[in-house]
Structure 1
Amino acid sequence: MFISEIKLLGFIGLKSNGNKHYILRVLPFLLALIFVLVVGNQSLSSSPKTTEILWDTYGVPHIYGKDNQSAFQAFGWAQMQSHGNLLLHLYGQARGRAAEYWGEKYLESDHWVQTMGVPERSHSWYLAQSPKFRRYLDAFASGINAYAEKHKDLIADEVEIVLPVKGEDVLAHQMRVLNFTFIANPEEVAGVSKQQSKPGSNGWAIAPSHSENGHAMLLANPHLPWSDLFLWYEAHITAPGINAYGATLVGIPVLAIAFNDNLGWTHTVNTYDGWDNYELKLADRGYRFDGQVRAFKTKTLSLKVKQKDGTLHSQKLVVKSSIHGPVISRKDGKAVALRVVGLDQPGVLQQWWDMARSQNLTQFQAVLQRLQLPMFTVMYADREGHIMHLFNGQVPIRQQGNFEYWQGLIPGDTSKTLWSKTHPYQDLPRVIDPKSGWLQNTNDPPWTTTFPQVLNPDNYPPYMAPRGPMEFRSQRTVEMLAEDDKISFDEMVSYKHSTRMELADRLLDDLIPAARKYGSELARRSADVLSAWDRQTNADSRGAVLFAAWVDAIDFDSVFSKPWSEDSPLTTPDGLANPQSAVTTLSTVAAKVEKTYGNLDVAWGDVFRLQSGDVDLPANGGDGGLGIFRVLNFVPLSDGRFKSVSGDSYVAAIEFSQPVKAMALTSYGNATQPGLASAGDQLKLFARKQLRQVWFSHQDVLSHLAERKVF
């Protein structure tokens, strides 16, 4: 092929009769043609002889593997090139040796990881993998090591101590992320009761009957912190049996949210309970269980802690375990044991891999039925027009109690409260192809996935999921989906960027007249600002700052005159319980807003900012608790403004047309390594409420090629 292109160049040159200017004009185009033909010939073959990574101009790796093992190795290389320092930091923490590597500030992390048995269990998980998938994990690790060896100068000196990485490090990281962060977060476990303020997400599946073009569509939109182990990594993997595009968390060797030519899925954090704290009754150096005294299982570990002078200090960690699980220390002095699901089910990575290789709903469900993925809603759509919402998770089979009961401290002296099995796939709430033509989840319980409601909570164990209330963000998403009979792809993208505040729509009709009736001059001016406000949190929205500050100051649980009701899930709660008190709070808040920002109608984007590196842009979107679909969460800065730190992190909008159509955005960019492209370009798109086209075809990738790596 290459020789024939050289001949073509020579022929053009001869025909030009030696006209050098002519040759110089056509030469760039000919070279580009040669490059595309040569690269295309090497990459489009059904059995390519090499493996390559084609990096597009947004830093997304498109991996073309000659076989699956080579694709895993290339993916390890790609993640190191984009996030090498972060990845090695995360793997060091998953080993429970971070304090040994980087000092005492990581000691608490090591205590958690070692007490939970992550390093030891990762070895047994590694041995439990199929021989083929074990080779894939080893290949991913070898890609990490190969990049680090080739590019030592690009890896921070402090993280090189983690090298070399092994396959079981990958599993330890996965376990720490899923089982001991998402399911059992150490901060939640340390409290007496569980908190429901977990990372969030939006997910939509739209059937052909509800779409303008007659194709099923999918919207993926997780909301996670913009740092650490929560960072998404966007990628495209093609190898024998797979051609999938999506995203995964840094350090995970397979795509966790993805689509191929025929189907796709996303995840949302579901209202799921996969862990429990058991209070133990101590007796005779043991604990009571079913009328007998049992001895604790005890092991003593030695943790090393790096000192400021570089020396290592050893520290003992004594881990006691009951029949329930490891004993954790408590502030109140009680002995409490932690039980977490999924520790005997090590196949989630292979399940995700096989989900991406599935080609229809039957195959996809067969993979889901393994239930190796310990939590997360699955929202699905495909080319054949099917849509599905699965309340996925390893849900413990419990003998008693509703969802609220299991949020507290559980008696640990009886087998009546000790669960040992989880529900099979057929027990889980699931909706396929509803008459409404759409499904949604915004971290609400599964019962409100579509309207008219299909799932009846009375048909499931009372501990499966809570029964309400339906949050305002969920009500907002249902309103957008239900009110548009035929949604186009562009409309779905537009709805994704909606910053309208459902809570404002619910309360301003009471608050504004109350402020004018009961309020001071300042309250009446506030009413004027709120009346003129567009009830959105766009960068130029004026009034949103005042309203959000008022919401932050009220007692949210008691502000409504009409509480949420299962009978009216989309119109309750509603009304002000105490209008005069609400106005008093408004006056207080208004005085602070005016003093801080100089006026009451300060623009939302002047106060709330998108910041990354040198980029500082006005934000749009806000807290989902306000009923905003476009979720952003902020932390205060020293000057009275706020900086985004979590929320919309990865977005993908997919239409299963022929060919598949997709747009996406990784808000903070696709790399954290120094010297690589920062979040700037994508954050600028974020600020403009835009997604970028996904380059899924090989030709599109070549047309937007920034770098090529051949193995």
Structure 2
Amino acid sequence: MPRSHVRRPLAAPLVAALVGALLVVAPARAAEGRHTSQGRYAADIRRTEYGIPHISAKDHGGLGYGYGYAFAQDNLCVMASWVLTLRGERSRHFGAEAMSDDAVDPVPNLAGDVYYKSVQASGVLRRVLARPAPYGPSAELRALVDGYVAGFNRYLNDTGVARLPDPACRGKEWVGPITATDVWMNLLDLGRLAGGSSFKEAIAASGQAREGAGERTGGPDGQAPPKTVTAPGSNAYAIGREATRDGHGMLLADPHFPWNGSRRFYQVHLTIPGVLDVSGGSLYGTPMVQIGHNASVAWTHTVSHAQRFTLYRLKLVPGTRTTYLVDGRPEPMGRQEVSVTVKNAHGVTSAVTTTLSTSRYGPVLATGWTEETALALADVNAANLRFADEWLAMGAARDLPALRRAQDTYQGMPFVYTLAADAGGQAYFADASVVPHVTDEQAERCRAQDDPEMLILDGSTSACLWGEDAEAIEPGIFGPAAQPRLMRADYVTNANAGPWLTNPEAPLTGYPRIFGSVGTERDLRTRVGLDMIAKRLSGDDGLGAPGFTLETLQRTATGKRNLSAELLRPDVRALCRARPVMTAGDGERVDVRRACATLAAWDGRARLGSRGAILWREFFLGLNRPQRRPDGTPVPPKSWWKVPFDPGRPLTTPRGLDIANPVVRVALADAVRFFTAHDLPLTLPPGQAQRYGDVPVPGCTEGEGCFDRIRTGGPLSERGRYPDVNTGSSFLMAVELTPAGPRTRTVLTYSLSANSASPHHADQTELFSRGGWVTERFTEAEIRACPRLSTTPLR
């Protein structure tokens, strides 16, 4: 993709500003106490069905005030607990060994506290907040955050800790007012979700590795990189006028985020007359809509395949563990002392102090630190808050060109693709996210270690520092011209695969490999999502005439198809006819005839009553488990697909089941034996096997090829139950952008409130279980027509 840009190595001070900032003295909390509700803020909170709040105010401060108050009414305890995490104070209240409340990456409290204290001590937040917009927050965003804090604290003050309605934190000594720093830290941490935040333990343990006391990790060279946490996934369709029956733009948002903790969505409608009128999903503790719509534009996000960080392998000076070489010159590591207060089993508190190490690239990690080398982390989102203003600007955009201008102005999306549609019938895809400027040539030249999941570069030469684009808002990142983008009048889609097959009629290519691969196998969820669109456009899905309507979009999104069953069940039938008795992994002979009859009669879906869906899941999971011989030695992996992946046929390969592969027979025999050994019915349906609290949940797993997928907290028990659903379709939103205004259907799968005593704790979960949707009230007339409308004026 041709573009004009300046290519020059990034100077060390600039790298330090970008990525060394990972490790932040927060502004003094006392200074933030100046924002109170004494006549400064005014807002109205109106609640419609399912408790959904509609906040209106005359300015951003008032809007934040109303939002903070409404959110505290529903979810104060979750936020109060998360604030302890962000402050590095969990060990003080709950002990060092207990696990943190991070639903994406729970770690022991002490490790989390050390990490977050190191972020505070680095000063990055102070530096970012000192910058003018668009590099730092705008005046509107600052007012929104200050108002949000004041509104949250107003509810807490009016109610009192001892009288909180949520028993999870009622009367707890760790509940208290929040500060603007807490909200900014929450935003900063959200930006690092796919980068520095997933290295908490490796950063926290670097003090031991610095002194050589850490346990040697990895293979013979000690260089195995630390584990990383994959950010939650999503599905999305943006549909243009050529793919809809009435020529309107449409959008399907189906983010797959955690069902518990601080990464849940809160449904909200935010209005400043003449300035902002946006409705959608907003992650806890963030006072703006991340996935939503206004009167003429709708947008959503899916997790991008682009890399958010690079690791740098440092070459240590012989005889020292804390000095490394760059261009042949020694450079000492920085020292960062972190102190955490810890409560022991007897309730006595004491301070635990550790010294962490930093480099010009970012924090030095504990994993892989030897006498010769160490690894440092360079996170492209280490000092990024621009996405918050970007979401505000996207919410105010009147069409896709305006939305694109917002993205080009702020260039801040932290780890997500953007898919959007407008009332003019255009559909848009972009990886407008922040990506390290590492060209394909530089990646090959500087690669210090082969790793399939992350890029490890040579830190001993400045020639391997990130490059620069002239049009990029910050040094070290790719500018908009390099980003994969596509505008269509039919559709664009993504289910967390790379950009390549956003629309198979116009494959995206030519972008740097750090954005994602081209010509590689797509997972089953991506394939079923594309097939669902193809069948809707041809009318072959049984939903009527070709083309999308709002109703067929809803039915398509929640059809509960299982692509693995569609692809493999015919071969399973053939296997069953040929081998009615199969051998399990331990050598036991298993009669599979009743199981085969169950799978043959199954409807192939993952509805609540789909009899045989769970048996299929256990068989399919068994296909992908590591196999061992009876003596315990591992079986060399061999693909069980009959037809392997063909880059020329990416939508239909791989396919078929190689029934001659013994892994297939073992997997089926093992699954059947588990059911029979524990007296579980082979017809066990999802409605009995998977729940969220007391509510049965439909759906199946991503690996099976399920579009609207769910994930449970562990394996099937001997009682025929999975642990509660913990991830999956979270805020479903289907929007049709008509000339008369948006028609929208939504469902918040885990409901609006985490408070078990709230009437809105499980009401939408029960709706989701039944396959229902909420008809959104967006216009003033629609809101006023709500028969149970309640209004809370805040002054």
TM-score range, shorter chain: 0.7 to 0.9
Q: How does 1:311-460 map to 2 (within 5 A)?
A: 311-330=348-367, 335-369=374-408, 370-398=410-438, 399-401=442-444, 407=454, 409-419=456-466, 421-434=476-489, 437-456=490-509, 459-460=510-511
Residue in 2 aligned with 1:484?
Answer: 536
Q: How does 1:521-540 map to 2 (within 5 A)?
A: 522-540=591-609
Whether 1:497 aligns to 2:558 is yes
Q: 2:434 & 2:592 partners in 1: Cα distance?
A: 51
Structure 1 unmatched ranges of 5 or more: 1-48
Residue in 2 aligned with 1:51?
Answer: 43
Q: How does 1:57-136 map to 2 (within 5 A)?
A: 57-104=49-96, 105=98, 106-117=109-120, 120-128=123-131, 129-136=137-144
Residue in 2 aligned with 1:640?
Answer: 720
> Structure 2 residue aligned with 1:239, among 250, 261, 272?
272
CA contact (8 A) 1:76 1:141 kept: yes
> Structure 2 residue aligned with 1:203, among 225, 236, 251?
236
Q: Which deviates further from its counterpart, 632-641 or 322-331?
A: 632-641
| SS across alignment from 2:178 | coil
Residue in 2 aligned with 1:554?
Answer: 623
| SS across alignment from 1:453 | coil
* CA 1:147–1:126: 2 relative to 1, 3 Å: farther
**Aligned-pair CA distance for 1:86:** 0.8
Residue in 1 aligned with 2:187?
Answer: 174
Q: 1:536 & 1:530 partners in 2: Cα distance?
A: 11
> Structure 2 residue aligned with 1:620, among 692, 698, 701?
698
**Aligned-pair CA distance for 1:309:** 4.8
CA contact (8 A) 2:257 2:263 kept: yes
> Structure 2 residue aligned with 1:514, among 537, 556, 575?
575
TM-superposition CA deviations, 1:500-551 (whole Å, max 9, x none): 1111111122221022113417233333222222111112212222221111
CA contact (8 A) 1:222 1:651 kept: yes
> Structure 2 residue aligned with 1:565, among 636, 641, 646?
646
| SS across alignment from 2:151 | helix
TM-superposition CA deviations, 1:265-305 (whole Å, max 9, x none): 00111112101222322223311222221101112122222
**Aligned-pair CA distance for 1:662:** 0.3
| SS across alignment from 1:439 | strand
* CA 1:189–1:652: 2 relative to 1, 3 Å: farther
* CA 1:638–1:61: 2 relative to 1, 3 Å: farther
Q: 1:127 & 1:655 partners in 2: Cα distance?
A: 41
* CA 1:116–1:665: 2 relative to 1, 3 Å: same
Q: 1:666 & 1:63 partners in 2: Cα distance?
A: 18
**Aligned-pair CA distance for 1:661:** 0.3
Residue in 1 aligned with 2:14?
Answer: none
> Structure 2 residue aligned with 1:219, among 252, 274, 286?
252
**Aligned-pair CA distance for 1:604:** 3.0
CA contact (8 A) 1:115 1:326 kept: no
Whether 1:305 aligns to 2:342 is yes
**Aligned-pair CA distance for 1:172:** 0.5
Residue in 1 aligned with 2:517?
Answer: 466
CA contact (8 A) 2:73 2:155 kept: yes
CA contact (8 A) 2:74 2:755 kept: yes
TM-superposition CA deviations, 1:37-84 (whole Å, max 9, x none): xxxxxxxxxxxx952001223121100112221011111111111111
* CA 1:289–1:108: 2 relative to 1, 3 Å: same
**Aligned-pair CA distance for 1:310:** 4.5
CA contact (8 A) 1:326 1:337 kept: yes
Q: 1:263 & 1:513 partners in 2: Cα distance?
A: 50
Q: 1:704 & 1:121 partners in 2: Cα distance?
A: 49
More helix as a share of residues: 1
Q: Match for 1:324: what amino acid?
A: Y
TM-superposition CA deviations, 1:603-661 (whole Å, max 9, x none): 23222x2222xx232x3111111111121111345733113111011101000011210
Q: 2:122 & 2:279 partners in 1: Cα distance?
A: 31
For these two proteins, the number of residue pairs brought into alignment is 655
Whether 1:149 aligns to 2:157 is yes
Q: 1:354 & 1:462 partners in 2: Cα distance?
A: 29
Residue in 2 aligned with 1:4?
Answer: none
Residue in 2 aligned with 1:258?
Answer: 292
Q: 2:324 & 2:172 partners in 1: Cα distance?
A: 42
* CA 1:182–1:203: 2 relative to 1, 3 Å: farther
CA contact (8 A) 2:239 2:251 kept: yes
Q: 2:351 & 2:500 partners in 1: Cα distance?
A: 51
Q: 1:169 & 1:502 partners in 2: Cα distance?
A: 43
CA contact (8 A) 1:113 1:119 kept: no
CA contact (8 A) 2:48 2:788 kept: yes
Structure 2 unmatched ranges of 5 or more: 1-40, 99-108, 132-136, 204-223, 468-475, 538-546, 582-589, 626-637
TM-score by length of 2: 0.78
**Aligned-pair CA distance for 1:162:** 5.9
CA contact (8 A) 1:207 1:387 kept: yes
* CA 1:379–1:179: 2 relative to 1, 3 Å: same
Q: 1:270 & 1:292 partners in 2: Cα distance?
A: 37
Q: Match for 2:374: what amino acid?
A: A
**Aligned-pair CA distance for 1:597:** 4.2
Q: Which deviates further from its counterpart, 379-388 or 282-291?
A: 282-291
Q: 1:218 & 1:620 partners in 2: Cα distance?
A: 23
Residue in 1 aligned with 2:753?
Answer: 671
Q: Which deviates further from its counterpart, 273-282 or 443-452?
A: 273-282
* CA 1:668–1:441: 2 relative to 1, 3 Å: same
| SS across alignment from 2:237 | strand
**Aligned-pair CA distance for 1:478:** 0.7
TM-score by length of 1: 0.87
**Aligned-pair CA distance for 1:126:** 2.7
TM-superposition CA deviations, 1:397-429 (whole Å, max 9, x none): 112239966615443323343325110112100
TM-superposition CA deviations, 1:460-505 (whole Å, max 9, x none): 2222212332111111111111122211111110011121111111
| SS across alignment from 1:165 | coil
| SS across alignment from 2:611 | coil
Q: What CA RMSD, in Å, does the superposition of the two structures yield over aligned residues? A: 2.5
* CA 1:534–1:183: 2 relative to 1, 3 Å: farther
Q: Which deviates further from its counterpart, 333-342 or 470-479?
A: 333-342
**Aligned-pair CA distance for 1:347:** 2.0
Whether 1:693 aligns to 2:730 is no
